[in-house]
Structure 1
Amino acid sequence: MERFIHRAAGLLADAGSLVVYLCAALIVYDVVARLAFGQPFAGTADLVAIALVLVTFLQAMKALLRDRLLQMTLLLDKLPGRLLAIAMAAANVIGAALFLCLAAFAVEPILQAYRTHEFFGTDAFRVTAWPVRLAVAVLWCLLAIAFLTKARVSLQRTSL
């Protein structure tokens, strides 16, 4: 299971990198079209704003699994090994609970967006809201699984 989680995290992070490159290309296109032809792409700001949210959670899983998230080392550096493992496991379980709660609370807004045909953007460019909301909620669930994986690994390493 751990191998699957790490592989999924890598694929999601790669997808996030691809989205960043596509955003950069879109911004370049928008600037060139604006300056050269006076015709900017109407949806640039909306697409980049949505992409930033997606990129954050596409890459969060890999950052978590590689211990690249911010930690408060002031306290952590003072804890003995076993207590540190328990503290890290508890923090990871809390992180998992947080993201599962976020995903659970997102169900109704996703359904509402689907029923009402909610969209992001302006009249010039629209993005249907429910697929974006659903993607973020799924990414939150995957992130929760990664947090639980980290908690298990943390406890196993100290032979608790």
Structure 2
Amino acid sequence: MTRIEDARERADRWSPFLSGLIARDLGTAQALADDADMPLMRRLRLERRRLALEVALGDLSGALDLTAVTARLSDFADGALDRAIAAAIAERTPGEARRGFAAIALGKQGSHELNYSSDIDPILIYDPATLPHRPREDVADAAVRIARRVLELLQG
């Protein structure tokens, strides 16, 4: 039995969360491959599950050290946050360039040390001079709506 197979067997036996991910692994992989038009919220949720399983198995097998585990989790969080910001802006102002809205990562995300149970606590900022917004919409109101949508996409 390889180290990965052993890790997978232990995860399946001793971790209800990972056992559930293992049971859905093939379906998750297939769904991600088959559905190019999948809504971002669902895609991020499936990608997060798949990453959790891959990283956990790498961690349990010894193939990934602590630095690699936290880097993979942090990189995913950074990318997911960036994609959610881009999607929220595109939903509100189709065809506009993504500009005028950003996130500052704090805590474990900012130091690239996220673990399995870490939450991200970004500070969302906007530039009123460049943030795309709808005609006759107050730019501050647009920023709040974008921020709410970003959080909604990430919590899905």
Q: Same fold (TM over 0.5)?
A: no
Task: Kindly indicate whether structure 1 or structure 2 has the higher relative contact order, using CA contacts under 8 Å at least 6 residues apart.
Answer: 1
Select the structure of larger CA radius of gyration. 1
TM-score by length of 1: 0.29
TM-score by length of 2: 0.30
Q: Which has the higher helix share?
A: 1
